[in-house]
Amino acid sequence: MATRIQALRTPRAAGLVGIAFAVLIGAAIVLVRVSIPSGEGALTASPLSHSARGGVRTALALIPFAGVFFLWFMGAVRAHMGEGEDKFLSTVFLGSGLVFVATLFGAAAAAGSLLATTQMAAPGAPRAELSYFGQHLTYSLLTTFSMRMAAVFVLSASTISLRLGSFPRWLVLLGYLVGVALLFVVPGVPLAELVFPLWALIVSLHVVVASFRSRPPRPRAV
């Protein structure tokens, strides 16, 4: 009986961690967008200000925890889906989630390198070029690769949920809309990446609410 109760409580706890992931990754994206300039004009921009460097440091401190919490979030979604997953879709689901975390950490490493570049003592054109390279690499990993892996993750999760009936139809439709936005809209629209943590927040809340509805059966009196 204890094992069965623990199995029912695990998705609830992991769903709460999914909410933490959504908050942390959303805050990190906003900090990176606000602190690190983007676009062609960034090549001649001045080095990062003191407040901008502080924002990048805060984002770098949040991202590792967001990645760990995302793994819990993946487990919560799989547990909520239950048995009967399609092996092909479940492989795409897990693979895209893991690659998302890897590219997210890569973007964080690029932002950390940019932060170190702006602290170099010697000014000049090479410093500006290094700064532009770091900015371009950070946003390429974040918007082009990481968010598109997130799109595959959202689309595969929504398709599995549609087939198994684990998500309501409105949540499945929302997942498809978010997946399309992550694939085609995010690279050109600043802060459009926030649709992913918003989707993760809604899914986590759904998992938590559903776990409260699934109460463990009372033990029979002997």
220 lies in a domain? no
Summarize the confidence of residues 186-196 as an average pLDDT.
Answer: 89
pLDDT in tens, 37-63: 776 555 444 567 778 889 999 999 999
At 175, the pLDDT band (50, 70, 90 cuts) reads very high
d(CA 154, CA 77): 11
For 38, the token pair is 């983007």
- The 3-state DSSP composition of the chain as helix, strand, coil percent (nearest 5) reads 85, 0, 15
Sequential DSSP letters for 93-135: HHHHHHHHHHHHHHHHHHHHHHHHHHT-S--SHHHHHHHHHHH
Summarize the confidence of residues 160-184 as an average pLDDT.
Answer: 94
Q: What average pLDDT is seen over the chain?
A: 82
96 lies in a domain? yes
CB 30 within 8 A of CB 196: no
Summarize the confidence of residues 190-214 as an average pLDDT.
Answer: 88
222 lies in a domain? no
E strands within the chain? Answer: none
- With a pLDDT cut of 90, the percent of the chain lying above it is 48
What is the predicted pLDDT for the residue at 8?
43
209 lies in a domain? yes
46 lies in a domain? yes
Domain that holds residue 53: 2-213
What is the predicted pLDDT for the residue at 80?
79
Q: What's the alpha-carbon Rg for the chain, to the nearest Å? A: 20
Q: Based on the structure, what is the number of domains in the chain?
A: 1
What is the predicted pLDDT for the residue at 219?
47
Predicted TM-score (pTM) of the model is 0.84
159 lies in a domain? yes
121 lies in a domain? yes
